[in-house]
Amino acid sequence: MAPVLRIAGIYNLIWGALVVLLPVTTLGWLGLTVDQADPIRPIWQCVGMIVGVYGIGYWVAAPDVARHWPIVLVGFLGKIFGPIGFVQAVLIEGVLPASFGWTLLTNDLVWWIPFALMLAHAWRVSTIERSAINTTDEDLPAAQDIDTIKDQHGNTLAELSRQAPHVVVFLRHAGCTFCREALADLSKDRARIEQSGAKLALVHMGADTKTSAEFFAKYDLGEVSHIGDPDRTLYRAFDLQRGNIGQLFGLRVWVRGFIAGILHGHLVGTLKGDGFQMPGAFLVRDGRIVRAYRHQDAADRPNYAALAAT
235-293 pLDDT, tens digit each: 999 999 999 999 999 888 998 999 999 999 999 998 888 999 999 999 999 999 999 99
Q: What is the pLDDT of residue 86?
A: 86
Question: Angle CA(272)–CA(277)–CA(282) in degrees, nearest 5?
Answer: 110
Where do the structural domains in the chain lie, given as residue ranges? 2-128, 134-308
Distance separating the N- and C-terminal Cα atoms of the chain: 37
Q: Tell me the torsion sign for CA atoms 162, 163, 168, 173.
A: negative
For residue 28, pLDDT over 90 is answered with: no
d(CA 271, CA 264): 20
Cβ contact 167:201 at 8 Å = yes
Higher pLDDT: 101 or 227? It is 227
Cβ contact 105:87 at 8 Å = no
The pTM is what? 0.68
Q: Give the confidence band of 187 by pLDDT, cuts at 50, 70, 90.
A: very high
| Residues near 218 by beta carbon (within 8 Å), at least 6 away in sequence | none
C-beta atoms surrounding 215 within 10 Å: 21
Q: Give the confidence band of 63 by pLDDT, cuts at 50, 70, 90.
A: very high
CA 247 to each of CA 140, 199, 200, 217: distance values in angstroms, whole numbers, following the listed order:
26, 29, 26, 29
Q: What is the pLDDT of residue 249?
A: 93
| Residues near 278 by beta carbon (within 8 Å), at least 6 away in sequence | 172, 240, 241, 242, 243, 247, 294, 295, 298
Q: What is the largest CA-CA distance in the chain?
A: 85
Identify the CATH assignment for 134-308 out of 3.40.30.10, 3.40.50.360, 3.20.10.10, 3.40.50.170.
3.40.30.10
d(CA 41, CA 251): 37
Amino acid letter, residue 65? V
C-alpha of 151 from chain center? 32
